[in-house]
Chain A
């Protein structure tokens, strides 16, 4: 909510004028009010025509090189600061993100290790159980012994067959495309 005061409104015009003057012609000595009035044509009463005098506006003083340099430096550093801020934020965000990711992966790794350990233990327990079951008489399994094995006598060596060199040489194919 805004509440505006309604005070006695100051003369905006003159305020603007003075502002204008003070801003555009800071180095001029304040002119007489009369002339200023006539300049703007407010004064209806004709008076002696003033001699048209053109006063050259003072050339704006050239900005000194050091100031230019400083301005440039300021502009440059502003840009740099913004860039650096952006970079810093990005890097910071990245470090936080990687830490989070690292923590997540580390936890996962730990869980996987635990599972591996568990799997190994369970696997071995099952192996032992199976071996125990196999040992039971009603399992119907017998331990391997020479009496229940088949021994094969090695066959006599076959006479060496001389390789047929001629037959094994393949007929040379013509070296041209076969598709067309």
Chain B
């Protein structure tokens, strides 16, 4: 429209026509100052309002709005990075993170009726609709409805497209083998802190080093690839590989369970170790617990007693003593010892296990001593070695030291002090058949492995290292060099003699 008429134009024209015979041009605009002023002031008023609003937004509310915009555009991904998976030597997964969701609802934002929402949610969160309705009424926003929802349940809830739903992603540690490796791997608590086993001892390594990040987000919620951290797309997919073997562990476990039942034993363990490098292939112990439900297990069963509990090794210590006697030169492999069946040492009587039934066995070779597990024979054998030297050998074996395994809460063995050991003759005598000292099952395994591997004191371990998904070694824990304790000749002679210790 090119022209606007004043509203009274038509009427005025009519009166004009009546008043004057001369026809005036119909569309002439009468310049009106007041109209100009009105229009001008309306425009000016509008402009003033706009300016004021501009001032308000740009100056007075600027900081608040900037913050709000930043809150919308920036997201900080401090979200828990998944912990590294733990795999066994054949790449079976022993521990892995999986995403779980916590559902919060905000009833004030509901766009449907509460009843309908409760009915829709009920099967997905496994809660009766009535209960959900009651929960909805407990708060306006942020009502926690369900924890540990699976990915499937979460996507089903998302597909409902309901307003006022808030799914928060978290990571949950899953131990697919349940109780099989609980003593080795341990578990993580609610705060995702390792509490036992490898999860605790290698906590730093398992947590992935990706700190808080600030990312730009576009309107639809996707990340804008601007100012991204350099290693944003570099995904660290290394996994922690252990030396254990799932299959062997499982077989050991089931046999162990059978044996425990057969002997109505309280606990038992099966340890399989590669004696050359100290890698533990099986570390089965009973009673065990389901690492996924560690909170249901008693603290006693959560303890890895293979490492932490001391016991008297008894006759199982005899081969170690034989190795000491041979290595020190106190005895020769061909020596014979007279077994009376029972002797008195320092006022104490020492007798064989089977003295009641067998009596004295007479002359025995070292092999026979081990075969019959003769206590008296062992006392005679170790008596040839001076008590002080004997003590020195026990110290070299590190009896009261830890093995240095890469698992937490290991206990050191206990043995008598030097004074006591050398002054009272009963001490070396009882030590000869494994009494009067205590050590962990793992320490005994370490000592026995010296006989099997040519005299080296190796450090038992369960961690192989960090491996890439392609199977390349990326990191290996530093390990001390094995100490040579016995000569290979000694250990060979000892191994040939060892026919049946441990009765």
Contact = CB atoms under 8 A, between A and B. Distances in A.
A5 B151 contact: no
A103 B222 contact: yes
Interface string B89-109: 000110011110000000000
Interface stretch (B58-66, B172-180, B342-350): B172-180
Interface in B435-468: none
B99 A124 contact: no
A130 to B, nearest CB: 11
B229 interface: no
Contacts of A124: 92-93, 96, 174, 176-177
Contacts of B177: 124, 128
B27 interface: yes
Contacts of B3: 3
Interface stretch (A13-21, A56-64, A113-121, A147-155): A113-121
A120 B96 CA distance: 8
**Interface of A (DSSP majority class):** helix
Contacts of B97: 117
Interface string B169-203: 00000101110100000000000000000000000
A86 to B, nearest CB: 24
A135 B252 CA distance: 12
A6 B25 contact: yes
B96 A1 contact: no
B93 A103 contact: no
Contact of A125 (B176, B225, B250): B176
* Contact count band on B: 20 to 34
B173 to A, nearest CB: 10
Interface in B1-23: 1-3
Given A118-B151, A128-B176, A1 B2 contact: yes
B218 interface: yes
Given A117-B96, A120-B96, A135 B176 contact: no
**Interface of B (DSSP majority class):** loop
A89 B180 CA distance: 63
Nearest to A126: B176
Contact of B25 (A7, A123, A127): A7
B222 A2 contact: no
B232 to A, nearest CB: 10
A72 interface: no
Nearest to A99: B224
B443 to A, nearest CB: 30
Nearest to A121: B98
24 contacts: A3-B2, A3-B3, A5-B25, A5-B28, A103-B220, A103-B224, A104-B222, A114-B99, A114-B151, A117-B82, A117-B97, A117-B99, A118-B151, A121-B96, A121-B174, A124-B174, A124-B176, A125-B174, A127-B92, A128-B176, A128-B177, A131-B250, A143-B251, A143-B254
Counting from the closest, the 3 A-B pairs by CB-CB distance are A103-B222, A124-B176, A124-B93
Interface of A: 1-3, 5-7, 99-100, 102-104, 106-107, 113-114, 117-118, 120-121, 123-125, 127-128, 131, 135, 143
Interface of B: 1-3, 25, 27-28, 82, 85, 92-93, 96-99, 151, 174, 176-178, 180, 218, 220, 222-225, 235, 250-251, 254-255
